Amino acid sequence: MKEYEHIETFNPKECLSGQISRINRLTATIFRKYISPFKVTNSQLTLLFILSKHNTLNQMQLSTIAKLEKSSLHRNIKRLVDSNYVSKADFPLLQLTNDGKKLVNTIIPEWEKAMTEIREIIGTEGESSIHQIHQNLISKT
Amino acid sequence: MKEYEHIETFNPKECLSGQISRINRLTATIFRKYISPFKVTNSQLTLLFILSKHNTLNQMQLSTIAKLEKSSLHRNIKRLVDSNYVSKADFPLLQLTNDGKKLVNTIIPEWEKAMTEIREIIGTEGESSIHQIHQNLISKT
DNA sequence: ATAAATAAGTTGTATATACAACTTATTTAT
DNA sequence: ATAAATAAGTTGTATATACAACTTATTTAT
């Protein structure tokens, strides 16, 4: 029988979605190792990092910067507000609380360690490739 | 006040975890556009693809190949069994059902279109960088 | 052959994410 | 200034993921 002819000839290992997802899971695990002792997640830290460089942002701005769907962003922020790292005092503007700033400042050295560990695995070329791919996706999407 | 000195000097845009997560979200959205009409998710398709190239695998083998934590794998497989794309008839061995094979064979051309769209964005260099980074992470982790 | 040790599989729990549908706020025509 | 249109924010729902703790199956010493 010559059914399923595509299956025989295709190469699923090429799948960019599969490869990128695996890259994401493996690198996330490394970052988590350094970050989780602070009781914050990788995604949460990304948002705290963005907020640490902007005085105030509304949800739409944050979702555009983080490339996160607005409903995902909404719930991530809710957790950060519940943990008292982000303030909605000036709603709809969001800003880091003092606790949030202190946490970011404290985590940065550990984050650097995670960055170093990843760089040792993917190399400087890997790092600049990621940057390039990221830029292309940001600008062409 | 000279508190939070790290915040002033660090550059969160460098964060490899942040960049990779964003790359993952953006590329997943492109793949989803082609794949979701078949009522299957990107993660599910990855597992179906792997199974399509192996007669049988147990959960441990699949989780090693997919780099998925065993409990995550377990529940992904459960959904595929519920959809009748994977059979547990030979448990603990898993295998594609005929429906599963037919689905994979049908989706491959659409998957190719998704691959083409991503390649147009990240380029051939991007694609081979992803492959290289993926290899490094697989072998050094 | 059996006990002890290890591996594989399962379930509970929390967070992350997207999409659809909805509500509330803001902006734009008239 | 008000109505209509658009944008921002919220909630419901389903899937994805990891970690911890547990149970069941398999393997390894004795």
Contact status, residue A93 vs residue B107, Cβ threshold 8 Å: no
Domain span at residue B73 reads: 14-115
Interior angle at CA B36, CA B33 and CA B40, nearest 5 = 145
Statement: residue A2 has pLDDT above 60: no
The pLDDT score that the predictor gives to residue A121 is: 98
**Which pLDDT tens digit goes with each residue over A73-106?**
999 999 999 999 999 999 999 999 999 999 999 9
Is B50 domain-assigned? yes
**Token pair of B68 as six digits:** 């998925």
- From CA B76, how far away is CA A141, in angstroms rounded? 29
- Quote the percentage of chain B above a pLDDT of 70: 99
Statement: residue B48 has pLDDT above 60: yes
Residues of chain B (38-77) having a beta carbon less than 7 angstroms from strand C: 58-60, 63, 70-71, 74-75
Amino acid code (one letter) for B73? L
CA-to-C1' distance for B71 and D23, Å? 14
Is A83 domain-assigned? yes
Shortest distance, CA B37 to any CA of chain A (angstroms): 17
Contact list in B for residue A4 (CB cut-off 8 A) is 101-102, 104-105
Shortest distance, CA B80 to any CA of chain A (angstroms): 17
Is A38 domain-assigned? yes
User: Nearest Cα to A19, choosing from B103, B123, B15, B27?
Assistant: B27
Tally the domains of chain A: 1
User: Omega of the bond prior to A109 within 30 degrees of 0, cis?
Assistant: no
- From CA A86, how far away is CA A39, in angstroms rounded? 15
Tracing tokens 């993952």 back to the chain, one arrives at B24
Q: What is the mean pLDDT of chain A?
A: 97
Chain B residue with the nearest C-alpha to that of A103 = B4
Is A137 domain-assigned? no
Is A122 domain-assigned? no
Q: B60: domain CATH number?
A: 1.10.10.10
- In 3-state terms chain B splits into helix, strand, coil percentages (rounded to 5) of 75, 5, 20
Calculate the CA B46 to chain-centre distance: 5
Is A8 domain-assigned? no
- From CA B15, how far away is CA A44, in angstroms rounded? 13
pLDDT band for position B2 (50/70/90)?
A: low
- From CA B129, how far away is CA B135, in angstroms rounded? 10
Measure Cα distances from B122 to B30, B33, B104, B131, B140 in Å.
13, 18, 25, 12, 25
Is A127 domain-assigned? no
Nucleotides of D under 7 A from a protein CB: 7-12, 15-21, 25-26
The pLDDT score that the predictor gives to residue B24 is: 98
Instruction: Say whether A21 and B46 touch across the interface (CB within 8 A).
Output: yes
pLDDT band for position A127 (50/70/90)?
A: very high
**Which pLDDT tens digit goes with each residue over B99-126?**
999 999 999 999 999 999 999 999 999 9
Residue B94 pairs in a beta bridge with B57
Is A106 domain-assigned? yes
Q: Residue B94 in 3-state DSSP?
A: strand
Q: What is the mean pLDDT of residues A4-31?
A: 97
Contact status, residue A4 vs residue B101, Cβ threshold 8 Å: yes
Contact status, residue A29 vs residue A42, Cβ threshold 8 Å: no
